[in-house]
Amino acid sequence: MTAAYQTGKYRNVFLECGYSKEEIQERVEKTFETIFYGTEEERFYHEVGEDMAYVEDTGNHDVRTEGMSYAMMVCVQMNRKEEFDRLWKWVRTYMYIPKGPGKNYFAWSCGTDGTWNSDGPAPDGEEFFAMSLFFAWRRWGDGEGIFEYSKEARAILKECVHKGEPGQPGDSMWDAKNHLIKFIPNCDFSDPSYHLPHFYELFAKWANPEDREFWKEAAKASRDYLHKACHPKTGLSAEYADYDGTPHKGHQEIFGRHDWYYSDAYRTIANIGLDYEWFGVDSWQVENANHLQKFYCEDQKLHWDGVFLTDGTRLEEKALHPVAIIATNAQASLAANGPYAKECVEKFWNTPLRTGDRRYYDNFLYMFSMLALSGNYRIY
């Protein structure tokens, strides 16, 4: 296929499924407005003072680099510069780590008042911060200070790659030898849903010149890794996986169980779909998306709220984020060409935003799927 990066054209999968341009755009805008400006029971974006804002993880009642970086990406895609700048100023004011082994990273969890719950980072936040800042630079141009977006993005990526080298205390976020992103800097395993080769392709063009070859290698390494991390029959990946793709069963006394297809892992297929839409260089992504949609629509059609091992074994637990499953299974249709691509999109279209305490994670993935399937999740 000729991908969006070459053509500048993005599929509107909803339009292909028969929905009108008007109702699609209305749905995208309504989703954004609900998340950012809906009722107290709907939104999780909160403005602070005249020039800052945060998003709350409503299930854990904290502010996470995950959510802040996701919100920034949503804002740059929706052309909402004021909200973007408010979020970024909150991040730089409260989450930035000024010294110690995590210097120049961001504390992954804070209270809503900005106090740290942790003094360490989570790499998925940093990679989304960098990508959203690059897009802001290309869409709106650089400002001054912390709003010199491209400078801030390059500084983040420099730390991610070079921390841990001589004279650079701490640990890098990518393994220097295999170019794979780590779950956290001081560990030797990964999280398949952190792998964003479509971001790394762009980092290879816009990061510091001396790091561009690293990001080219990281894009290739991540695509190869996902082949190993996703089961060949079900398309499912584990939440955490070793560098050979095997579900990670260790560290359960610290992090709990993560060797199954559960919350984090839902993002993996969404990322695969978006990578195929943007760059289209890996035909395996089509095959994997077809496998996953078949698994849900045929093999487990009555159990979309189930929890599974990557081989498809269904466990007794129920999914904590069932709306996220529906959203990401639909986003897989950016790559899928099998008989269930349209069914998954229609199921998503007919699913409302989640309400209640756990709405934050589900509704962010819902928003991303809305953007992606309407042709509005774009490279700038």
CA distance 99 to 111: 20
The one catalytic residue in 56, 57, 62, 66 is 66
Q: Which residue among 83, 264, 282, 362 is the active-site one?
A: 264
Beta bridge partner(s), residue 63? 110
Q: Give yes or no for a contact between 240 and 268, defined as CB atoms under 8 angstroms apart.
A: no
**Which two three-digit tokens encode residue 151?**
């400078």
Helix (H, G, I), strand (E, B) or coil at 106: strand
264 included as an active-site residue: yes
| C-alpha–C-alpha distance, residues 28 and 378, integer Å | 14
For the record, the structure tokens of 117 come out as: 């719950």
Classified as helix, coil or strand, 314 is strand
Alpha-carbon distance of 258 to 251, in angstroms, equals: 9
Distance (Å, rounded) from C-alpha 227 to C-alpha 236?
Answer: 11
Angstrom distance (rounded) from CA 124 to CA 8? 26
Q: Is 66 a catalytic residue?
A: yes
- Find the distance separating the first CA and the last CA of the chain, reported in whole Å: 20
* Buried residues in 272-296 as b, exposed as e (16+ CB within 10 A): bbbbbbbbbbbebbbbbbbbbbbbb
d(CA 332, CA 337): 10
Residue 307, φ and ψ in degrees, nearest 5: -115, 135
CA 239 to chain CA mean position, Å: 13
CA distances from 300 to 34, 196, 264, 303 (A): 31, 27, 20, 5
Write out the catalytic residue numbers. 66, 264
